[in-house]
Chains A and B, each alone.
Chain A
């Protein structure tokens, strides 16, 4: 049978160079033997380090504990929003209603606490549940009606935005001071710790569990996944539930930071969620995600926005930089792919 192989290929020895799946922050479906993280993620870590170094050199106040804490809190928050998007991207879809679900759950939270006089430990789970239910609704519509996730979540975005404005009349709800304990903590902010825990859990799920790998398989090739016995419809629903859950979690954390439940929460999340997820190396066509990558994506996003303020450029241009950055991230990724293709002969 030697004829069918290129001479460089040899049969696999049973265990010699097989490396176990990595249980770290990064799941690298394309990582070769022995690679802990994919090349893409390493690039992100290096970019973050460079940005960090530039800011540390150019600004006096950057390395202060206070700035670090504020930045960490923001980054943590962006990570959660990006996760809400990444969950849907992983299965090959998208969720345009992340921000709308965020706004909607913020209003539910405010309603429960301000009008319903519920304690936080009751209102927060209700808000998370409502967010998950919204995701469940998205997922069910996508899979049952076989409509593209773009159309479904675009429509549902308007539905949730309407509900949000209708219920709240556009006015913010007041939250008790005790509620801001988590969101406003500095030092090592609780929000950051919570996010690290969430990221570790997500990474563990994708790297090690049947559930995570079925999500990845569903995004990687839905037909192949289905014909391999994976209920891909159920996976898509689960992904949307997780997406709704993370949107709600972000909403709760945001309300805790503001100590108010503002209905306009979530208005800018759609762009942020895509930006951070894409810069963080989440595959737009599904099947690829990295927890560490998303953390780095959020850090790069935040450092650039912060950097523009620090360097006293006109902050109004910030979005243009972010847009260019997203393009750059995709171009670099495409270039890697093209290069990889060029260097292998056609099969």
Chain B
């Protein structure tokens, strides 16, 4: 049993954890939930020895532990599986699993690859990883990389497995596969700590849940006696509403974007669709089904082999993102805001105005007008309710939800009226998620923006879209209309989508 007893951790100005006690039992999958800033990450870092608590004890099998590093916690049989822990991309799967316990011929120091591969294969089978052990790591999908990490933890005989947002880049199928393996491990008596934003997962998978709120423990409950609403209330201290946000009123006479038989090798297979003014067109599908790939063609980041694109009725070729932005006012909010969306080290102001610098420059001095820059940035900060200490706050220091708003804001500042928004709420907590949903909906409903919403979060896409295209294998395999009609309940729509994908 792993116990946190009265753990307190203070960072200058913030009490990240305040007298938090949690017990993780063997043979249970224990969810750790809470909004960003609630203390989840700090708790994880304390369990894995990256941070040391200011006060309180960590007990393992009744013995107090003092972790000084991630290595210490590994040695005690506690391992963490997340996307930040890097694999060695050019080494084989077996090598990654067996890295610290290579089998050699006697004491010669020469690796016995046959033995390494066969031992690794045993752990790979335990997690259902069906690739040859000699496969290079970089060739694996995100799901398989994750399974490799779990296999590695098992090889290290980890009794406590900590999974931090493990499904954020997995398809539904892959996630279900992962859950089955976690259940097996639980039944074999291991302790699994599962950190997630997704309630569906917490309810489907976990036995217990501990909620952190503002650095304090808001309670540990058994999942069986808990409803979704109760859990939300524990997390944010109030109720949240789900369902459709409300009907949209697209202008069917105003076609703003039309793709006609777009073909791109391995990316788009004869894709056609039309986007009307004021609508939210959902692109639903699994990761890799061709949605993001199509979006990149629409913004000129990639180019079709054949097919035509019409923007506001005009046949066009979009060569670069600059074309899409400055000529056609098409904006793309990327799914990886940290890697591709934001200049994390730069202030909020820079990230919002990056698309309009040219427009606010004095023709003679070539100087970007500070007044107009601040004006544009503060208007966005106000309109989107971006919480920051100031326009000069480093973007890296904002919460996920606020970073996402900044990522959307730059296109709105540039007057884009066609917005392609890719997975807008990945890594965003419940409260902020709702706010971003409302923002997207209002852009279409009230400001007549035309939006393509790419999402693999079914509740999200049903809540927002009025029309959904279902993608599979780089093709559109189905279209559902009238989603925003209250008569079309979540169950109806999700079943219909499921039938296309079956």
Q: Which residues of A contact B (CB under 8 A)?
A: 1, 3-12, 14-15, 17-21, 23, 29-33, 204, 208-211, 213-214, 216-217, 220-221, 223-231, 287-288, 342-347
Contact = CB atoms under 8 A, between A and B. Distances in A.
B146 interface: no
A4 B35 contact: yes
A21 B432 CA distance: 30
Interface in B210-252: 214, 236-237
A345 B16 contact: yes
Contact of A224 (B299, B301, B342, B361): B342
Nearest to A19: B392
A210 B429 contact: no
Interface stretch (B114-122, B188-196, B382-390): B382-390
Given A213-B350, A220-B346, 7 more contacts: A4-B35, A4-B399, A20-B371, A228-B410, A343-B11, A345-B14, A345-B41
B8 interface: no
A20 B369 CA distance: 9
A15 B378 contact: yes
What 5 pairs between A and B have smallest CB-CB spacing?
A20-B370, A346-B41, A229-B325, A210-B357, A208-B367
B416 to A, nearest CB: 10
B374 interface: yes
B321 A8 contact: no
Interface string B361-399: 100011110110111011101100111111110100101
Nearest to A228: B354
Contacts of A17: 390, 392
Nearest to A22: B370
B360 to A, nearest CB: 9
B277 interface: no
B341 interface: yes
Contacts of A204: 367
Nearest to B358: A210
A11 B390 contact: no
Best-buried of A11, A18, A208, A221 by chain B (most CB within 10 Å): A18
Given A14-B378, A220-B346, A227-B341, A347 B400 contact: yes
Nearest to A218: B343
A37 to B, nearest CB: 14
Contacts of B345: 29-30, 220, 287-288
B349 interface: yes
Nearest to A32: B392
Highest count of chain B CB atoms <10 Å: which of A5, A17, A226, A345: A345
A137 B468 CA distance: 48
21 contacts: A1-B387, A1-B435, A5-B37, A10-B389, A12-B386, A14-B382, A17-B390, A29-B345, A32-B392, A33-B391, A204-B367, A217-B343, A224-B339, A227-B321, A227-B334, A229-B322, A229-B355, A231-B322, A287-B343, A346-B42, A346-B45
User: Which residue, of A5, A30, A224, has the highest number of chain B Cβ atoms within 10 A?
Assistant: A224
B192 to A, nearest CB: 21
Contacts of A345: 11, 14, 16, 37, 41-42
A5 B342 contact: no
B126 to A, nearest CB: 31
A252 B379 CA distance: 49
B37 A344 contact: no
B309 interface: no
Contacts of A210: 357-358, 361, 366, 368
Contact of A230 (B42, B341, B354, B381): B354
B401 interface: yes
B47 to A, nearest CB: 13
Interface string B400-434: 11100000001000000000000000000101100
Contact of A209 (B366, B375, B381): B366
A109 B435 CA distance: 64
B13 interface: yes
A15 B374 contact: yes
Given A3-B237, A18-B374, A11 B387 contact: yes
A8 to B, nearest CB: 6
B143 interface: no
Contact of A208 (B42, B366, B371, B435): B366
Nearest to B361: A210
A223 to B, nearest CB: 4
Contacts of B391: 12, 18, 33
Contact of B339 (A30, A209, A217, A223): A223
Query: Looking at B42, B324, B346, which has the most chain A CB atoms within 10 Å of its CB?
Result: B346
B344 interface: yes
A5 B399 contact: yes
Nearest to A214: B357
A159 B42 CA distance: 53
Given A9-B388, A18-B392, A3 B35 contact: yes
Nearest to A34: B392
Residue with the highest number of chain B CB atoms closer than 10 Å, among A6, A23, A231, A288: A6
B54 interface: no
B177 interface: no
